[in-house]
Structure 1
């Protein structure tokens, strides 16, 4: 089977990006993403607008992915799609299209968990990027999730730590909003942080036992700090923007690193892979690479385009599920399940 030429069309529509990719076995032939800029003016994703935009984008995005890959729909072996978690309306657009296309072509349909895909993105065959060996620890960090996952096999995963309230991506975005930065603010915090002093301001880290995270208290501390400073100096944010961003980012990185260090200690597993939109953050990437020499770990950082929501990561899970003949039936998909 692995020597067979397997073509997977993957569809990702969990939030506000409409994405399609074509994989030949574990190699990406195309990876197309249509962003929805309409949400910027609202300071966050509006679910109803997101689902409407998916309906407009899904046909041209899939058409572009097939053409770029130079693969016809008749050559496809299976169609993989994001089943959840995500926004219900957005997921329904992708799942409905995938179901219809699979029935029309009479090929298997494969449901994929979005967070699992962030982890397995490391197994895409990409020149210059090593693949982790089992077992390894995955730090999945995004706008909606913060998890430490023990990965023993492609489909044998256990969440050993997760956020008790807000996700790390939300902490970045809400901090950016407090500073008056436009949405999405996380990348802007990263940008300004590179020019600032990470030790300029000190924010208290939450004391959460075990491997779980918490970010709501940090957000509140940042809000009160900024309000107090601005009351004394209305130009405080503008005069100290880089240092504020660097200090916020450094605090978040320390929270993540404290937990992942504890996870390595408790499990004895010294392979650490990151995934999810926040893994695009330059400070987090650098700190994890430095940990290789500092702690004797082996760290795996995915190619930048596979960190944010994309269909290539859905496709690699689809490929592994295809090998296992783990397919969905039309009856199951019609229930529009969004959770596993």
Structure 2
């Protein structure tokens, strides 16, 4: 029997969840709308808003789960990677909460948690070990071989920019408001994915690169806007569809190569970009084409959330994998 309180504060969302014996009974997310004024996350502002949001989020999570703070058996928290100021708020609160109640602290790697979100009980069974997971977010793009809950190996990763960043930067070029990734997905659904072609990265092995891809989008837009100032407005749906299709193809080609190399048929996606409909549809298509058994997390566990921190913390709690009060946040953290 265990009740875990989990805190996620790696970027701009303050999230708190309760895990009761492996089941997520609350998952509160307080979004920060202030960054919309700047077209992206401002780290200093993010940390300040975390300070305002964390106590109300704690109260709401406890209330929704129907538990009191005295019933909590351990506190799990995101140690990294992420924005240092944002992480500091969550880590400091977790340490204080645990110290006041004399309960254990559980440190969680943010990227591990995205993968372990697949083990949150739901309508579908979780993947079986070993399986492959494509983790895609604004800051990371990785293909990970998962052998056990915490025995994971990165077999491919981006050498520069992440796929999520490519979506965000494209949205900015198209003058779409922040966050732009979901808006690209929305416009792509009614656009022609073959309307425009972009440079395809020629990266060896299972690694990725999106810097050249982003540059090719910039050059294409500059060329057409110079000839027609209304080009973006008149072709927005087709541009979004073409960009999304290209990114998804880059990701899926590498994932297919990895699955073949390791002889694995159980394939999952995770991270914020796993909410993208194009990526989800492409993965499901391979269920039929390649005989994969595919796993896609529910939308609420795709983006940053404390539910995934809670389930990771639960498995660490079972192993009594605790940290002491000297623990500190890490902006960069080894996988």
TM-score class normalised by the smaller sequence: over 0.9
**Contact 2:271/2:303 (8 A) holds in 1:** yes
Q: CA RMSD in A?
A: 0.8
- 1:172 alignment counterpart: 167
- Deviant stretches of 4+, over 3 Å: 335-338
Deviation string, structure 1 residues 137-181 (Cα, Å, up to 9, x no partner): 010000000000000000100000000000000000101111111
| CA distance, structure 2, for counterparts of residue 138 and residue 132 of structure 1 | 10
Give SS of 1:190's match: helix
State yes or no: 1:12 paired with 2:8: yes
State yes or no: 1:192 paired with 2:194: no
Deviation string, structure 1 residues 239-273 (Cα, Å, up to 9, x no partner): 11101100000000000011001101111111111
State yes or no: 1:133 paired with 2:115: no
Give SS of 2:144's match: strand
Give SS of 1:330's match: coil
| CA distance, structure 2, for counterparts of residue 337 and residue 209 of structure 1 | 30
Measure how far apart 1:130 and its partner are.
Answer: 2.2
- 2:31 alignment counterpart: 35
| CA distance, structure 1, for counterparts of residue 199 and residue 330 of structure 2 | 40
Q: How does 1:97-246 map to 2 (within 5 A)?
A: 97-126=93-122, 128-246=123-241
- 1:71 alignment counterpart: 67
Give SS of 1:199's match: coil
**Contact 1:197/1:243 (8 A) holds in 2:** yes
| CA distance, structure 2, for counterparts of residue 84 and residue 150 of structure 1 | 20
Measure how far apart 1:336 and its partner are.
Answer: 3.6
State yes or no: 1:95 paired with 2:95: no
Q: What 5-or-longer segments of structure 2 have no aligned partner?
A: none
Count of equivalent residues = 333
Provide the TM-score with structure 2 as the length reference.
Answer: 0.98
Give SS of 2:247's match: helix
Alpha-carbon spacing, 1:173–1:336, altered in 2? closer, same or farther (3 Å)? closer
Provide the TM-score with structure 1 as the length reference.
Answer: 0.97
Give SS of 1:20's match: strand
| CA distance, structure 2, for counterparts of residue 88 and residue 232 of structure 1 | 44
State yes or no: 1:252 paired with 2:247: yes
- 1:61 alignment counterpart: 57
| CA distance, structure 2, for counterparts of residue 336 and residue 37 of structure 1 | 24
| CA distance, structure 2, for counterparts of residue 217 and residue 235 of structure 1 | 25
| CA distance, structure 2, for counterparts of residue 263 and residue 289 of structure 1 | 17
**Contact 2:76/2:310 (8 A) holds in 1:** yes
Deviation string, structure 1 residues 103-144 (Cα, Å, up to 9, x no partner): 111111000000000000000011x22200000001000000
Give SS of 1:148's match: strand
